[in-house]
Amino acid sequence: MVGYIVRRLGATVPVLFGVSVLVFAIIHAVPGHLVQLIAVRSFAALTPAQEERIRHELGLDRPLVVQYGDFVDKALRGDLGRSFYTNRLVTTSIIEQLPATLELAGAGMLFAVAVGGGLGLVAAIRHNSWLDNLAMLFSLGGLSIPMFWSGLLLIYLFAVRLHWVHIVGGAGWKALVLPAIALGYDAAAFISRMVRSSVLEVLRQEYVRIAYAKGLSERTVIFRHVLKAAMIPIVTLVGLNAGRLLSGAVVVETVFARQGIGRLAVEAILYKDYFLVQGVVLLAALIYVSLNLMIDISYAWLDPRIHYQ
């Protein structure tokens, strides 16, 4: 187990190196040079000397390798530069917005696992029944309805027509319900399909038939044998969908005019605030890589037969 974890951690290093190179490249692939962008922002035509000074201040006059080393060194110390637009530290802006996104992603995941997992389980147990068809219709809808549209439909139905919640803003759990459903529906659809096929596969196993033959109740068989065996693919799905939810937050936060790092990223791109873009993209990748790492480690814990190859 320890060896597996060490090797899995080792495999993460090249990925993190690649991520850092790609994020570093964002600044160097800016359409219109960075210095020109700063000049436009300050509404002033820069003299060559001023341009040179800004290049020097940003460290852009040094070799790329040195700049990359400096970027990694600063990033490791939590310094991702300052926003062009607000002049605030990128790290501060991200730390301020992150809790709102995590809250939304957490609520979305809760909805996805509860509804998707529940429907998938029911669909498998009542295979080929109307419940199964209904669950699969729900799943098809989730895979076909874009998040930004389902969000708008939810606002129209529950805020505009029924007045159950505020159109945008608000506070507490009421403000979280609709965004969480919009965000989690897509993941719930995915989870319900996978849980259904995974449980169906387990239900066909001999030991499940034996459990039934022994006279155990359906509830005991499902909760004690079937769910336990179907757990590994479900854990994978939670991991895969964590990324889905994180990226979905970009859209849902805009639809519901919520605070969060997704909205921060979109605004940063629209305002060409490149250090902020770098910061958010780096953070999202780090969260995703860490989640995948934790999930892979949890496999080894759930199933000791799993080894790192």
Partner 1 sequence: MSVGTLRTAEQRTVDREPTRGRFRVFRRRLTRNRAALVGGVVFVMVVLSAVLAPIVAPYQPDALDFTAMLAPPGPAHLFGTDEQGRDLLARVLYGGRISLSMGFVAVAIAAGIGVALGLVAGYYEGSIGSLIMRAMDVMLAFPGILLALAVVSMLGPGITPVMVAVGIASIPQFTRVTQSSALATKEVEYVLGARAVGSSPTRIVVRHILPNIFAPIMVLITTGLAATLITGAALSFLGLGAQPPTAEWGNMLANGRVYLETAPWITIFPGLAIMVTVMAINLFGDGLRDALDPRLK
Nearest approach, Cβ of residue 228 and partner 1 (Å): 25
Nearest approach, Cβ of residue 36 and partner 1 (Å): 13
DSSP secondary structure letter of residue 45: P
Nearest approach, Cβ of residue 49 and partner 1 (Å): 28
Residue with Cβ nearer partner 1 (1 or 40) = 40
Residue with Cβ nearer partner 1 (140 or 302) = 140
Greatest Cα pair distance, the chain, in angstroms, is 87
Residue with Cβ nearer partner 1 (37 or 227) = 37
Distance CA(107)–CA(165), nearest Å, equals 17
CB-based burial, 193-227: b 16+ in 10 Å, e otherwise:
bbbbebbbebbeeeebeebeeeeeeeeebbeebbb
Tokens of 243: 């990324």
Residue with Cβ nearer partner 1 (187 or 211) = 187
Contact 19, 278 (CB under 8 A): no
Nearest approach, Cβ of residue 259 and partner 1 (Å): 16
- Which residues are near partner 1 by CB under 8 A? 14-16, 18-19, 21-23, 25-26, 29-31, 140-141, 143-149, 152-153, 155-156, 160, 167, 242-244, 246-248, 250-251, 254-255, 265-266, 268-270, 274, 277, 281, 284-285, 288-289
From the list 88, 34, 100, 32, the residue with the least C-alpha distance to 61 is: 34
Residue with Cβ nearer partner 1 (202 or 265) = 265
Tokens of 301: 């814990």
Nearest approach, Cβ of residue 286 and partner 1 (Å): 9
